[in-house]
Structure 1
Amino acid sequence: MKAFKLPAAVLFISCVFLIGYLIGKYQFNQPSREIVIAYEDENNSDIKIIKQTIKDTEKQHVIDNFFMIWMQKKPLEDTESVGEGKPDFYIMVNSPKQSVRLINAQIWFTEDGAIIGEEVGGSEKQLNYFSIPKENANYIKAHINNKEKLR
């Protein structure tokens, strides 16, 4: 009877750990944040082509750095000529677990860095404009796979 209790206990404990591992693996595998990078279709500006998605389950450091760049953006004073023409890319930051879009923005790369047009009230026509320095713009460029569309 004692010889049966020890293997049964080891088997029971192993099953508990295995079940916990599998639940954790499947439950926490969904990203909590993702960055979607898209650009306009050349023939139809209403169509956005998703170039890539960066998920925090794969590249947490990139997500963290994007948020740091976003927190350091500076409001633009003169916005009259900003936003004319197609943006180089659209950047959307989503929370898939909550099914919410956190940031919806357009970005234009310039010689001095980049200009970000962040949507206000869910409208692509109403934007608040910000600037980021060249180092931050270069970081964003380095993480966009579509190199031929970059200036």
Structure 2
Amino acid sequence: MKVIKILGTLTIAVGLFLSGYFTHKLTNENVQEVSREVQFSYRSNEQPNQINLEKSYTDLEDQNIVDNTMMIMMHKKPSSEVMDIDHPDMYINVLSPKQHTGLVDSRVWFTESGAVIGDRVGESWDQVEYFEVNEQDADYLKEQGGFEEM
């Protein structure tokens, strides 16, 4: 009789565990969190102090765009050019919504040979490091960001 009670208890415990496990698998299988988001923004023509978000891509919807943009940002080369920090052609932000963190805060100026990218390295835009990318990478940023010549 004691063995039957132990086996019954074990059977109930295993049954509860398995029902909880499979319920979790079925209800949470399609739930994924965005880990990276790339935002392309521009200064408003009507409101000069306003920055308008033009396009936004997440790693769940557009993994290739997020990866390619991150690769461009990681492989840019240092530049000696200094640009007008208040008048970029495009703003690029890379965020980690999962961690509630901004990873990249950049301003972009398109040139004949590609683009110059200014990265904020301090608390404000008083501290900026400049980099350059080639024409192919600049064209990719233009295309994904919906850039139109002003």
Q: What is aligned with 1:118? A: 119
**Cα deviation 1:61-106 (Å, max 9, x = unaligned):** 1111111111111111242xx2366211100000000000000010
Q: TM-score, normalised by structure 1?
A: 0.77
Structure 1 unaligned residues grouped into runs of 5+: 1-11
Q: What is aligned with 2:5? A: none
Q: What is aligned with 2:30? A: 25
Match of 2:49 among 30, 46, 49: 46
Q: TM-score, normalised by structure 2?
A: 0.78
How far apart are the structure 1 equivalents of 2:25 and 2:149?
46
What's the CA shift for 1:13? 7.1
- Equivalent residue runs for 1:3-18 within 5 Å: 16-17=21-22
How far apart are the structure 2 equivalents of 1:78 and 1:108?
11
**Sequence identity, in percent?**
34
How far apart are the structure 2 equivalents of 1:13 and 1:74?
54
Q: What is aligned with 1:4? A: none
Q: Given residue 141 of structure 2, which amino acid in structure 1 is its aligned partner? A: I
**Cα deviation 1:93-139 (Å, max 9, x = unaligned):** 00000000000010011110001011121313432111000011111
Structure 2 unaligned residues grouped into runs of 5+: 1-16
Q: Quick check: 1:88–1:108 contact (8 Å CA) kept in 2?
A: yes
Q: Which has the larger radius of gyration?
A: 2
